[in-house]
Structure 1
């Protein structure tokens, strides 16, 4: 019976450790993904502004 209790406690400990690792790893990844998305939208806006500012050359 003591072995079963020890295994259950160890199992809960492993699950808690996995959750902590997932939260620790995913939080910076989510922040980096948000920064990448904002950089991409900023880049898209700059390219659109340049396309409007620079006249297109017509190749004849």
Structure 2
């Protein structure tokens, strides 16, 4: 449910702001989004370290 809503939001955002070659910007947005989702999952599953969360949720 959350994933579907997030995908829809990001797809709409990228369609609205897409102008030419903006792979660098979209890469940063992707990194930021993945980091936020991992942070939420770490909190939900009580994983203490960022490294452990990256290993588990990537």
Specify the TM-score bucket, using the shorter chain as the normaliser: 0.3 to 0.5
**TM-score, normalisation: structure 1:** 0.42
**TM-score, normalisation: structure 2:** 0.43
Between the two structures, name the one with larger relative contact order (CA 8 Å, sep ≥ 6). 2
Structure with greater Cα Rg: 1
